[in-house]
Amino acid sequence: MAGIRLDVIEPGGFAETEMVVDGVAESVILHRDGDVVRAWVNVCPHAGRRLDWAPGQFLKSREGLLVCAVHGASFELIDGECVAGPCRGQSLQRVEVVVRDGQVRQADD
Ligand code: FES
């Protein structure tokens, strides 16, 4: 599967792509942290909605949390755990990705 170029994601920013997770094509959130990228399925554990307000447009709080655009659940960006809001204590589903030759790819790609 074609990856997404690391340099199109702003440092500290987000992008959205599609990956096959457990055999299902899913929208995936990519978060760039320096040269590391973390990824989660773009499904909020609260009500199962996408977290972006428009495709690939994610909200980040002043505290550096990813905020679900639907009801405001806030997720930390290491483990994807909800630390405030209606699904506190639950987590986003992690997707393993690697950065290789400047491309973000699914780890088992
Ligand atoms: S669906 Fe994300 S906070 Fe409700």
On the question of pLDDT at 14 being above 90, the answer is yes
Q: Is the CB of 86 under 6 A from ligand 1?
A: yes
Q: What is the pLDDT of residues 45-103, one digit of tens each?
A: 999 999 999 999 999 999 999 999 999 999 999 999 999 999 999 999 999 999 999 99
On the question of pLDDT at 1 being above 60, the answer is no
On the question of pLDDT at 3 being above 80, the answer is no
Whole-model pTM?
A: 0.95
Pocket test for ligand 1, best of 87, 90, 91, 93 (most atoms within 8 A of CB): 87
For 4-103, give the CATH class. Answer: mainly beta
Cβ-based burial of 64 (10 A; exposed 0-12, middle 13-18, buried ≥19): exposed
Q: Is the CB of 47 under 6 A from ligand 1?
A: yes
* Domain boundary assignment for the chain: 4-103
Beta strands in 1-109, from DSSP E residues, in sequence order: 4-5, 14-21, 24-33, 36-41, 59-60, 66-67, 74-75, 82-84, 94-95, 97-100, 103-106
Question: Going by CA atoms, what residue is nearest to atom 4 of ligand 1?
Answer: 71
Q: Is the CB of 67 under 6 A from ligand 1?
A: no
User: What pLDDT is recorded for position 108?
Assistant: 76
Backbone angles phi, psi at 55, to 5 degrees: -50, 120
